[in-house]
Amino acid sequence: MDLAIWHDKRYAPYKLVTLVAVLRKEGIPAELSLKGTGLCTDSLSRPETLTSVSQYLTVCRNAIRLCNNPEIPFRVGSQIHLSAYGMYGFALVCSLTVRDFFNSAVKYHQLATPIISISWQEENGHATWIFDDRLVSQQSDDLRLFLLEQQFAQHVVHLKDVLGETAAVPLSASFQFSSPRHIALYRRYLGCECAFNQPASKLAYPRSILTLKPPMAFGLTYRILQQTCERILSEASSKTGIASKVNDIIATSPGHAPTMEFVAQGLGMTVRTLHRRLKLEDTSFAHICDEVRSKLAKEYLQTTALSTEDIAELLGFSDVANFRHTFRRLTGLTPRQFRAK
């Protein structure tokens, strides 16, 4: 990830909310956990709130400073389930095989709040996750350890989300740093033997799991969600400025049509400021809404058997007639004609 975008507020605060909740159980008020982030407790409960990587790192530093409990990163990681990741998480849960899950997790990782880089490989009969923390190489050793411990715990719980508790137990874990005093926590949360002072940080599973079919595997849903993730990634890389952020909020709000007030609040600005910023980028809120909904509608019509009524509901239209009218205005065709063509 480009470090220049670490301050961009583009991620739902699921990790941050989990960390604050865990610290609250340790007796640390949310106000102290959030110190230095510019966030307040109320903002964490609002669905439109977006946060940055740097804000999350600030809360992690606060956790290290305020709480001398080495279990915190493990507890946070084990409580972040795939359902918290929106479209990205649902795509992973619906993967056709565990191999698809591994590949999609890496391919769409930028849709999460990526701090530790992830990859995987097949080696010595194992399917092995590899964790690279070079993005935070300039941070303190305590923070790097905190982030790695959380990442390992997350990966263990994510595969259990996909396969079930007993079907997804890692074989071994290895770490580049020296053995810590709280080594018992590693065995408890990861469920395997751990080795330290190793060349790389890895989490190994038996290679045989790669062909397993997750209980919630569903081909059509998986393909739809993959295409949605592809589009969001593509648009995020091709657009810059405030228009990109507006595009992301609208695209990741299935089932309702965000208002300009909703989006402006999520971006921490007034409607007037948002209107002015978009005008400077030679676009408008209405134009971005039309563009996103048109692309989504075309994807659904081309790649699924969803009815026009279902698509209208997914895109947040008040009724199917309004959807048909809008689609024809944008494309020159009715949904039925577009699908037939």
* Parallel, antiparallel or unpaired: strands 193-195 and 172-174: parallel
CB distance 203 to 92 below 8 Å: no
* Pair (306, 211) in one structural domain: no
Distance in angstroms (rounded) separating the CA atoms of residues 125 and 206: 7
Number of domains making up the chain? 3
Please, which residues bridge with residue 122 across strands? 127
CA distance 203 to 168: 12
Q: pLDDT tens per residue, the chain (341 residues)?
A: 444 456 677 788 889 999 999 999 999 999 999 999 999 988 888 877 888 888 999 999 999 999 999 999 999 999 999 988 877 888 899 999 999 999 999 888 888 878 888 999 998 899 999 998 877 877 899 999 999 999 999 999 999 999 988 788 999 999 999 999 999 999 999 999 999 999 999 999 999 999 999 998 888 888 888 888 887 777 655 555 788 778 777 776 655 677 899 888 878 889 999 999 888 877 899 988 888 888 888 877 876 777 888 888 878 888 899 999 999 988 889 999 998 87
**54 plus 122 within the same structural domain:** no
Phi and psi at 123, nearest 5°, equal -155, 135
Q: Is 270 found in the same domain as 149?
A: no
Look up residue 159 and give its amino acid: L
211 & 83 share domain: yes
pLDDT at residue 303 in the model? 67
Query: What per-residue confidence (pLDDT) applies to 330?
Result: 87
Identity at 164, one-letter amino acid code: G
Exposure class string for 210-230: b at 16+ Cβ within 10 A, else e? bebebeebeeeebebbbbbbe
Which residue from 151, 162, 158, 161 is spatially nearest to 76, judged by alpha carbons? 151
Q: Can you tell me whether residue 131 is helix, strand or coil?
A: strand
pTM (2 d.p.)? 0.69
Judgement on whether residues 197 and 303 belong to the same structural domain of the protein: no
Sign of CA dihedral 30, 153, 230, 130: positive
Give the per-residue pLDDT at 250.
76
Q: Please tell me whether residues 91 and 206 are part of one structural domain.
A: yes
Neighbouring residues of 243: CB distance < 8 A, sequence distance ≥ 6: 278, 281, 283, 288
Beta-carbon contacts of residue 213 (< 8 Å; ≥ 6 apart): 96, 97
**What gap in Å lies between CA 299 and CA 295, rounded to an integer?**
6
Residue 304: closest CA among 262, 332, 278, 335: 335
Last residue of a domain, one of 69, 87, 122: 69
Identify the pLDDT of residue 4.
43
Same domain, 191 and 296: no
Which secondary structure element, helix H or strand E, spans residue 118, and what is its range? strand 117-123
Does the residue 159 lie in any domain? yes
Is residue 333 domain-resident? yes
Range of the domain at 41: 1-69
Spatial distance between the Cα atoms of 206 and 122, rounded to a whole number of angstroms: 10
Do residues 78 and 201 both lie within one domain?
yes
Tally Cβ neighbours within 10 Å of residue 2: 7
pLDDT at res. 341 = 76
